[in-house]
Chains A and B, each alone.
Chain A
Amino acid sequence: MTTTTEVAAGRATRAPEDRRAARRRRWLLEVGWKYLLAVVVIFYAIFPLVYVLSASLNPYGTLAASNALFSVIDVSNYAALGETRFWTWAGNTLLIGGIAAVGAVLMGAAAAYAFSRFRFSGRRAGLTGLLIIQMFPQALAFVAIFLMLLALGEVVPVLGLNSKIALICVYLGGALGVNTFLMYGFFNTVPIEIDESAKIDGATHAQIFWRLIIPLVTPILAVVALLAFIAAFGDYIIAKIVLVSEENWTLAVGMYQWVSNQLASNWGLFAAGAVIAAIPVLVLFLSLQRYIVGGLTAGSVKG
């Protein structure tokens, strides 16, 4: 009698503990290990970024000295950037990328509007043509770009070699193919009844385009602008052959020169420049992340 009550009482007190332990074990087995793995993945993902931040704060500026992470903290590398052409290059990159992005958005949006809203002969052929053209990367034809700009420069110097305008034009040449499809799909999701009711109210095509459609498709415009900017930002091969003189270089061309020439001694400069250049892109990317994922899955990849 007493034993059974003892056992029962014991079970009553021990059972919740058992259950809690079992639940904890299950949690560890099914969920908890994911946190442990996450630590490993995060280390893998951000170690290089932490390293470059640390190197940028290391006043010795050499590769060897940068290995002791955060042993010294000093902003002299950032100050030293002022004595180089870094800010000129950053300005060039911003200018070239900015104009290329705006141009790509305007031309892509206009083309997508035409394909989405008008029915005209050659429309399907045009869309198919764009689809095919966009599959051939411009970078593969850099020899022809070089020779063409060489010849064009004799006629119109602003469109020749070593001209930022010429580089922007080359980038805009690729704008229609890559972006029209991305935008075309999005434009199609805007109901055509909106256009029709506006037309009945007496709006012209241009008014419908600028006042009605553009505000409704802003998210895709932002994505295309960012992708075009990042493409121009990251391009090396075309920028390198078009921009000859050092004061016209973009960041990609200039920073490559730092690291390839005297890797060991310019490391601090490179690290500081990388941090400065990456932060705006990182912030933009993370804040537009939601839209970008949609854009990326529609066919574009990292460039």
Chain B
Amino acid sequence: MSTETGSRDRILARIRAAVADAPDAPEAARDYLDSHTPDDPAAILDLLHENLADYRAIVHRASEAELPALVAQLLADRGARSVAVPDGLPAAWLAAADADQRTDDGPLSPYELDAVDAVVTGCALAIAETGTIVLDAGPGQGRRALTLVPDLHICVVRTPDQVVASVPQAMPRLDPTRPLTWISGPSATSDIELDRVEGVHGPRTLEVVLLQD
């Protein structure tokens, strides 16, 4: 530990010496745009839809009343027999589903999670310009592993209140002290001759439901 303390002091001293004569560097100017999209909720929603789909997420739109049947259908279509249920997920969302519901109150071990076919969650917000959903482990989202290990992730976005146009608009709405996961389409790799392959280690399929009232 004592050498480490020595290194701390040494590194800080080296930094101070290195920049002692450097010109002052002011705070950065933020002349860049707050958004690249017209301030129109319908257009922003369409852009989100388009950009999510562009990165191979499968996008649906539904009303609150249609949601349970849609979720049940999506699970059935993929043959999902079990579904992980994060704390705080509205019970109605899974009310019509046949899949065996696995709550995370054990919590589920990595091996147990690996045996679960799907997970259904809400989100913290979604960003239209980049086609991104952000999870912050809040109610209905669960811990990070829940949306990672099962092979199918169904994510519900409340519109318009959970949708922002741009990254700069997202930042002030997120709490950096929470674990955050930004998801833009299913996992993918281009490491083999730059051919894009989806579903490497994360869920192979990402279905996003844009919930409209």
Q: Do chains A and B interact in one complex?
A: no
